[in-house]
Amino acid sequence: MKRCSIVIHSVSGNCYIIGSCLKEALAKRNVDVRFYRVEDPDLHIWANRDETVNDYYEDVVSLPVVTPEKLLKSDMIIFGCPSVFGNVSAEMKTFMDSTVQMCEDQALSDKFFACFTSSRYSIGDGSRALDTMVYWAQQHGMIHIPFATRPGKQSCYQPVQGIAHLEGGESIVRPSSLLGEEIELYAGDLASYIQD
């Protein structure tokens, strides 16, 4: 069975929800999915300040912390994090930067890659964060699997780089059933690349 690693940074819980939905959708398609988080030493501070963070705090911190070495065993890697000023979160960037030696060695070359984000302000803001994740994967020689548009489906409003969720200024808009349908479509595409 092929392995997929989903690596998230989640503060409000929205990236955790999307990652969980992707994990479930891929597992239904016989993919061995591992679910990780990047280190965030300040998450407990956010949880003390914002009730929204508490909704999924325990779920997020119960995930194992990813290391670059865990990616080596994966056939596919999926990143998910909030967009911050049109970029990935600092915590995701720190993890991405920790893979510099792997990039120089091209240790992740030819693995498949996908990504998602949750943005407070606009899909365009999220799209730029997705660009950063895709660029990271390309530097590693990975093969990015875009989100395919489908004629007649509302999913055509997603950016081609991956899935983007718009959570609103207070981060209280949770992923909807429509986004769930888009995640199912994307999971089907992703699984087709690594199914036995």
Q: What CATH topology corresponds to 3-194?
A: Rossmann fold (3.40.50)
Does 96 score more than 90 pLDDT? yes
Task: Give the 3-state secondary structure of 91-136.
Answer: HHHHHHHCCHHHHHHCCCCCCEEEEEEEECCCHHHHHHHHHHHHHH
Which tens digit of pLDDT belongs to each residue from 97-128? Answer: 999 999 999 999 999 999 999 998 888 889 99
With 0-12 / 13-18 / 19 or more C-beta atoms within 10 angstroms meaning exposed / middle / buried, residue 97 is exposed
Q: Indicate the domain borders of the chain.
A: 3-194
Residues pairing with 114 in the sheet: 78
Higher pLDDT, 180 or 151: 180
The pLDDT of 80-92, averaged and rounded, is 95
Q: What is the mean pLDDT of the chain?
A: 91
pLDDT value, residue 5: 98
Q: What contacts 190, CB < 8 A, 6 or more positions away?
A: 4, 22, 26, 31, 76, 78, 112, 114, 145
pLDDT per position as a tens digit, 121-144: 888 889 999 999 999 999 999 999
Q: What is the pTM of this model?
A: 0.94
Q: Is the pLDDT of residue 156 over 60?
A: no
Whole-number percent of the chain with pLDDT over 90: 70
pLDDT of residue 177: 81
Q: CA-to-CA distance for 12 and 122, rounded, in angstroms?
A: 16
Question: d(Cα 196, Cα 188) in Å, to the nearest integer?
Answer: 14
> What is the band of 45 on the pLDDT scale with cuts at 50, 70, 90?
confident
The runs of H, that is alpha helices, within 50-99 are 51-54, 57-61, 68-71, 90-97
